[in-house]
Amino acid sequence: MNYIKLFVTVFAMAIALNAGAQSKTTAKSKSVVPAKTTTTAAPKKTTTTTTARTTSTYDRPSASRSNKRDFDPRCHLLLETKIGNFYGPHGGFGGNIVLEKEFHKYIAVDFFSIDYATNFGFDWHGAGIKTGAKGFSPRWWGGRMRAYSSLALGYECSIVSGGAFYSSDVQHAFALTWGAGIQIVNHFYLGYDLEYNALDGWGTAHYFKFGYRF
């Protein structure tokens, strides 16, 4: 019996000691405060770069420049009127239709020129077709004006319908035209034409010419 009491007493003390140890461990764990972690994020630095725009000459319109090549490469139709000394003893007048194309700011080609002229009596007519080239000077007056010179070669037919001085006749011959003048604001022009053909009894004719370039 004494052994049983002793055993119970020892067992109770063991339980009491175990419970006390557990309570101390719990209190210790509760007393530990976790360290506060503070994260400070630096603000992102934004860099703004401003690039100054450089203005080139092509950003500004120019009266003397139709495009970046400084000439107009399109085909243009020229309508010309001329008046002066027709072949023979009488004055006359006429007109030309020309198809022109610029290949450089100083050079153009006249693919064809259809010419017609008559005297004031309408009894002597000349018609021809020619091809040639044209040269230009540098522009002046703010790009509004330039001089030109042209040369065209081809064929001409003369038709004499009769009258007081001539008998009816039709002739064919080589012909050329040399001209010079001034072109104004790319559309209007005026100048002088000298026309020559190899027909017997003809020779040269001189005209004042003005026209419009479409």
Q: Two tokens at 122? A: 């309408």
Q: With contact defined as beta carbons under 8 Å apart, do 100 and 90 qualify?
A: no
* Whole-number Å distance between alpha carbons of 119 and 86: 6
pTM above 0.75, yes or no: no
Per-residue pLDDT of the chain (214 residues; tens, 9 = 90+): 555 665 566 566 666 655 555 555 544 444 444 445 444 445 555 544 444 444 443 334 344 444 456 788 899 999 999 999 877 667 899 999 999 999 999 999 999 999 999 988 888 889 999 999 999 999 999 999 999 999 999 999 988 876 555 556 888 999 999 999 999 998 999 999 999 988 766 678 999 999 999 9
Q: Within 13 Å of residue 136, how many CA atoms lie on the same side as its CB? A: 24
The pLDDT of residue 204: 87
Closest-CA residue to 186 (of 120, 129, 141): 141
Please give the distance of CA 106 from its chain centroid, rounded to a whole number.
17
Q: Write down the pLDDT at residue 161.
A: 77
Give the dihedral of Cα atoms 113, 89, 206, 212; nearest 10 deg: -50
